[in-house]
A and B are shown apart, each in its own frame.
Chain A
Amino acid sequence: SQTIHQWPATLVQPVGSPLSLECTVEGTSNPNLYWYRQAAGRGLQLLFYSVGIGQISSEVPQNLSASRPQDRQFILSSKKLLLSDSGFYLCAWSVRVGDAYNSPLHFGNGTRLTVT
């Protein structure tokens, strides 16, 4: 069965420090991968998604970036964190299928980031 691993679970970082969050998926090949952010008590904001190695689509221009160095690895980074980057970061994957079928997103357990 497929599993998604996301770490760390919690992180406290000072303003201006770098960030690296990692996500890996097991049990499937060639997945679509996603990074979402959720502010406290708010909805899910799509940050980046990827349909293949090295293919990254950015949804929100900001000081974050994403990379996909391997098929089942997705990394979220920042060179300098802002206070507004605090939130709950969720990695997700879905099966990449043809137009005739849609598959749901499966979320990781999330990383709670507090920028101080």
Chain B
Amino acid sequence: GENVEQHPSTLSVQEGDSAVIKCTYSDSASNYFPWYKQELGKRPQLIIDIRSNVGEKKDQRIAVTLNKTAKHFSLHITETQPEDSAVYFCAAKLGFGNEKLTFGTGTRLTIIP
């Protein structure tokens, strides 16, 4: 079945440095890749997404890149701030009528002041 692997499981970054989280997926038909941020005790919230016809998307300090050939996509956070500390989940959705999102196992990002 479809599978999404996410690395690393934990990441500590000095404030102001960049953080990169990587995900790989197994189904070549996957065509939608959102990223969610979950703060402690709260619901996951969408921070950025990318579709398979796009290689890169940027929104201020956050960017996502997609390599369909290699079946991997990455989240990049630049100029990290303490409020970026959270758990980040990647996800992938199969194309053509599949209504499910398969999530990665999450990355706990800690920004060190």
- Interface residues of chain A, those whose CB is within 8 Å of chain B, are 32, 42-44, 46, 49, 51, 59, 90, 94, 96, 99, 102, 104-110, 112
Residue of A nearest to B35 (CB): A104
Cβ–Cβ < 8 Å partners of B104 in chain A: 43
Residue of B nearest to A51 (CB): B99
B100 lies within 8 A of A104 (CB)? no
Number of interface residues of B (CB under 8 A): 24
Residue in A42, A46, A107 whose beta carbon sits within 8 Å of that of B45 in the complex: A107
B43 lies within 8 A of A43 (CB)? no
A90 lies within 8 A of B44 (CB)? yes
Cβ–Cβ < 8 Å partners of A104 in chain B: 34, 46, 49
Decide: A99 near B96, CB < 8 A? Known: A43-B104, A44-B44. yes
B96 lies within 8 A of A94 (CB)? no
- Interface residues of chain B, those whose CB is within 8 Å of chain A, are 31-32, 34, 41-46, 49, 51, 89, 93, 95-97, 99-106
Cβ–Cβ < 8 Å partners of A32 in chain B: 99
Residue in A43, A49, A51, A107 whose beta carbon sits within 8 Å of that of B106 in the complex: A43
Question: A103–B106 Cα gap in the complex (Å)?
Answer: 21
Decide: A49 near B43, CB < 8 A? Known: A43-B105, A104-B34. no
Distance of B90 from chain A, by nearest CB (Å): 10
Cβ–Cβ < 8 Å partners of A59 in chain B: 100
Question: A39–B38 Cα gap in the complex (Å)?
Answer: 14
Distance of B100 from chain A, by nearest CB (Å): 6
Question: A96–B93 Cα gap in the complex (Å)?
Answer: 13
B46 lies within 8 A of A99 (CB)? no
CB-CB nearest 8 A-B residue pairs: A102-B32, A107-B43, A44-B103, A43-B105, A104-B46, A104-B34, A32-B99, A99-B96
B99 lies within 8 A of A96 (CB)? yes
Question: A114–B100 Cα gap in the complex (Å)?
Answer: 27
Between A and B, 13 residue pairs with Cβ closer than 8 Å are: A42-B105, A43-B104, A44-B44, A46-B102, A90-B43, A94-B99, A96-B99, A99-B96, A102-B93, A107-B44, A108-B43, A109-B42, A110-B43
Distance of A70 from chain B, by nearest CB (Å): 19
